[in-house]
Amino acid sequence: MGVNCSARAVGALQGLMLRSLCDLRSLFLSVTKYDTTAAKIQSFLGAVGTIVHLELDGATTSVMSALQAVDILPRLKNLEIRDFCQHSLDSEWDDYYGLEYGSLVEMLRWRQENDAPLESFDLFLYTSRGSFVRAPPAKLITAFRDLGEAGLHVRVTHERGVFLDTHQV
């Protein structure tokens, strides 16, 4: 489901939840970088506090900031992110790591250290057809390994294989 985090979209989602009396446990969101703020995402996700499994197609700094609120998705245990990766140079990866993935690592660390720990995190990197996915920078892999040592199952994959799986022996 693509997300329009407007007040009308939040109201519609809340109405649906109230009418259906369902306990929504899994949600897939396609997130774009257009006009998406942490406050809008928090408002939207606040309407579905029963989510245990969240899959995001694309993630932004706004999403990572939104997930750092204690009352946002307090039951969340599994987070999956699919991210289109178009980094061809190491410097581009480092720039992207500093902006997007830096906030991702901080959000995961924050949730593990507070009363909202996750059980698993999966990051799937994909590219345009025929392109090669570069390995994430060593500092990102190290940060994910550290999270794995703290008890979070972290898996980083791409179309052709696995970069990291903290549960592999």
Query: What are the residue ranges spanned by the domains of the chain?
Result: 7-165
Which backbone phi and psi does 99 adopt, to 5 degrees? -90, -65
Whether 147 has a pLDDT exceeding 70, the answer reads: yes
pLDDT at 153: 96
Ramachandran region of residue 79, left (φ > 0), alpha (ψ -120 to 50) or beta? beta
Whether 133 has a pLDDT exceeding 60, the answer reads: yes
**What pTM was computed for the model?**
0.81
The amino acid at residue 38 is A
Average of per-residue pLDDT values in the chain: 79
- Residue 151 near residue 112, CB atoms below 8 Å: yes
pLDDT at 2: 44
Mean pLDDT, rounded, for 122-142 = 80
Domain 7-165: CATH architecture, name and number where available:
Alpha-Beta Horseshoe (3.80)
